[in-house]
Structure 1
Amino acid sequence: MALDDDIALLARVPVLGGMGREALRLLAFAAETRQLRTGDVLFRKDDTSDSGYVVAMGTVAMLDEGGQDAALVGPGALIGELALISETRRPATAVAREPTTVLRISRPMFRRTLEEYPQVAQRLAGALRERVLGMSKDLSAVRRRLTDLDE
């Protein structure tokens, strides 16, 4: 893919889209393109994470404990966004379900981008804060429903 195509792809990713063209250019330039064949494993559950992956073309399945497709992700999806910020363990195995192209964004490169574009880091922190608050509200609603069932 051409650099401008990679920038356009990254701009479609909700977490990355607000970064601005120059920050996206830096990420796109440093991103590693990986080609996967049907059945290739991108990573395995419990692997140490060091990067996130943006699906450019194709489909990646996230497998549950039983090896079944728990989720299918396609073009424009970011897999492993938490890995861009912090070292974690992969929560699932990711397998290509068809010929697939992904862009690998390393944590050090992502952090460098945030350092070079501090306004991007502030926007990202705000977006993450909103997502955490949303999840907290969702969990509170589930708790209320479960409590109501117990009564």
Structure 2
Amino acid sequence: MSIEDDIAFLERVPTLTLIGREALRVIAISLEHYSVARGQALFREGDPADCAYVVHRGSFAITRADPALARRPGQAVQVGPTALLGEMALLTDTRRPATATALEDAEVMRIPRMVFLRTLEGYPDAARRLTRELSAQLGTTLAELDKVRQRLEAIDGEPRP
């Protein structure tokens, strides 16, 4: 693939499109392409995370060791092309919250955290757009968690922190 092909593909990734074509060009220059065989884990829950992956081809099952922590208890979440896996690792030192296993032969693009952060430093408007979007997503998540807390309080009649 050419750099232009990589940029065009990255523009289809919802979170990444926010940073704009020029910033994506910088990221595309540093992308690493990896093939992942069917059944192979791209990463495992608990592993240190220093990058994110964009699924370019194929699909992955995302699973949690504790089903109670899964988004869909008892089921793996399936993701395919343009999915961004491990996006929090682009911004902060973290561990993988789940395991990603290839459901078929797949290809991913690896985006190292240091490249992403340096790109945001060079493109402050991109950083502001990304910050606004992530803040909105966090607000939505917090509102959903508050609803869950309220339901739990209604069930057992005890306030929750």
TM-score range, shorter chain: over 0.9
User: Which TM-score applies when normalising by structure 1?
Assistant: 0.93
1:101 is paired with a residue of what secondary structure?
strand
Residue of structure 2 equivalent to 1:85:
91
Equivalent residue for 1:114?
120
User: With structure 2 as the length reference, what TM-score do the two structures score?
Assistant: 0.88
The aligned residue for residue 46 of structure 2 is 46
Shift of 1:118: 0.7
| Residue of structure 2 equivalent to 1:18 | 18
Q: Structure 1: 5+ residue runs without aligned partners?
A: none
Offset at 1:112? 0.9
Distance between the aligned counterparts of 1:100 and 1:69, measured in 2?
A: 21
Task: Give, in angstroms, the shift of residue 66 of structure 1.
Answer: 6.7
Counterpart of 1:146 in structure 2 is: 152
Aligned partner of 1:126 in structure 2 is 132
Unpaired runs of 5+ residues, structure 2, are 68-73
- The one-character-per-residue Cα deviations of 1:79-105 (angstroms, maximum 9, x if unpaired) are 000000011111112111101010000
On the 8 A contact 1:62/1:69 being kept in 2, the answer is no
Alpha-carbon RMSD across the aligned residues, in angstroms, is 1.6
1:36-56 residue CA offsets vs partner (Å, 9 max, x unmatched): 111122111111101000000
Identity of paired residues, percent? 46
1:57 maps to a residue whose letter is R
Q: Secondary structure of 1:12's match?
A: coil
Distance (whole Å) between structure 1 residues aligned to residue 82 and residue 76 of structure 2? 18
Note closer, same or farther for the CA distance 1:136–1:147 as it changes in structure 2 (3 Å cut): same
